[in-house]
Amino acid sequence: MSQVHTIIKRPILTEKATTAREATNTYTFRVVSNATKVQIRQAVESIFSVHVKSVRTVNVPSRPKRQGAFQGRRSGWKKAYVSLRAGETIALIENI
């Protein structure tokens, strides 16, 4: 497996992500926390054979998590919003 396949962990398939995909052709991915926008762009373009218009990233902070008397923290992670050129789609995500 090459370097670009380790950048993107998985797509985010929530209602908000689906609305963004349909309205603005923006796909949402969970990515490794040290990935840069350039690396995310290269990974999406090489894996899905599309042209990326822009990449925006968000560092989602960790949160406290509790189950009964046990306390812990949910890990923080990085989210990437990837906008594609008009008319292009990622077929694997569209079919889900």
Residue 86: per-residue pLDDT: 93
Q: pTM for the complete prediction?
A: 0.89
For the 4-64+75-94 domain, the top CATH level (class) is alpha beta
Range 14-25 average pLDDT: 95
Measured between alpha carbons, how far is 72 from 10 in angstroms, rounded to an integer? Answer: 24
> CA dihedral defined by 78, 27, 46, 84, rounded to 10 degrees?
-130
Place of tokens 């926008």: 37
Q: Tell the residue number behind the tokens 């380790």, with chain if given.
A: 6
pLDDT in tens, 32-52: 999 999 999 999 999 999 999
In the prediction, which pLDDT does 96 show?
Answer: 66
Domain boundaries in the chain? 4-64+75-94
Give the list of residues 6+ apart from residue 72 with CB closer than 8 angstroms, or none: 64, 65, 66
Q: How confident is the model at residue 2 (pLDDT cuts 50, 70, 90)?
A: low
Q: What's the whole-number average pLDDT of the chain? A: 93
